Structure 1
Amino acid sequence: MVADTPELVPLLAHLARISRRAAERAADDDDTTLRPRHVIALELLRDRGPMSQRDLGAALSLDPSNVVGLLNELERDGLLERRRDPRDRRRHVVTLSASGVRAHERSAHRYREIEDRIFASLTAAERRAVHDLLSRVAADAADAARPEPRD
Structure 2
Amino acid sequence: MTSLPVVNQPPHRCGALLDHLARRLRLRSESVLAPLGLRPRHLIALTVLRDQGGSSQQDLAKILEMDGTNVVGLLNDLETENLIERRRSPVDRRRHIVELTDVGAKLLARAEFALAAVEDEVFSGLDEEQRETLYTLLQQVTTTTNMEACTEAATRPC
Please tell me the TM-score bracket, short chain as reference.
Answer: 0.7 to 0.9
Following TM superposition, by how much is the alpha carbon of 1:75 offset from its aligned partner in structure 2, in angstroms? 1.0
Q: Alignment partner for residue 32 of structure 2, among 21, 26, 29?
A: 26
Relative to structure 1, is the Cα distance of residues 127 and 33 closer, same or farther in structure 2, using a 3 angstrom cutoff? farther
Query: Quick one: which amino acid aligns to residue 34 of structure 1?
Result: L
Rounded to whole Å, the distance in 2 between the matches of 1:67 and 1:136 is 29
Q: Structure 2: any 5+ residue segments left out of the alignment?
A: 1-9
Q: CA RMSD in A?
A: 2.5
> After the TM superposition, which residues 3-82 of structure 1 pair with which residues of structure 2 at under 5 Å, given as runs?
6-28=12-34, 31-32=35-36, 34-82=38-86
Rounded to whole Å, the distance in 1 between the matches of 2:144 and 2:81 is 31
Which whole-Å deviations, capped at 9, do the CAs of 1:66-86 have from their partners, x for residues lacking one?
A: 222221111111111111212
- Structure 2 SS opposite 1:82: strand
Relative to structure 1, is the Cα distance of residues 21 and 78 closer, same or farther in structure 2, using a 3 angstrom cutoff? same
Rounded to whole Å, the distance in 2 between the matches of 1:80 and 1:140 is 32
Rounded to whole Å, the distance in 1 between the matches of 2:15 and 2:70 is 24
Relative to structure 1, is the Cα distance of residues 59 and 119 closer, same or farther in structure 2, using a 3 angstrom cutoff? same
Work out whether 1:93 is the aligned partner of 2:97: yes
Following TM superposition, by how much is the alpha carbon of 1:111 offset from its aligned partner in structure 2, in angstroms? 0.7
Rounded to whole Å, the distance in 1 between the matches of 2:138 and 2:22 is 12
| TM-score of the aligned structures, taking structure 1 as reference length | 0.78
Partner of 2:155: 148
| TM-score of the aligned structures, taking structure 2 as reference length | 0.75
Rounded to whole Å, the distance in 2 between the matches of 1:53 and 1:17 is 30
Larger mean Cα displacement after TM superposition, 136-145 or 117-126: 136-145
Larger mean Cα displacement after TM superposition, 94-103 or 40-49: 40-49
Partner of 2:4: none
Relative to structure 1, is the Cα distance of residues 13 and 70 closer, same or farther in structure 2, using a 3 angstrom cutoff? farther
Relative to structure 1, is the Cα distance of residues 121 and 93 closer, same or farther in structure 2, using a 3 angstrom cutoff? same
CA contact (8 A) 1:57 1:64 kept: yes
Rounded to whole Å, the distance in 2 between the matches of 1:93 and 1:46 is 13
Query: Quick one: which amino acid aligns to residue 89 of structure 1?
Result: R
Identity among equivalent positions (%) equals 41
Query: Quick one: which amino acid aligns to residue 109 of structure 2?
Result: E
Larger mean Cα displacement after TM superposition, 97-106 or 34-43: 34-43
Higher RCO, 1 or 2 (CA under 8 Å, sep at least 6)?
Answer: 1
Aligned positions, number: 144
Rounded to whole Å, the distance in 2 between the matches of 1:141 and 1:63 is 22
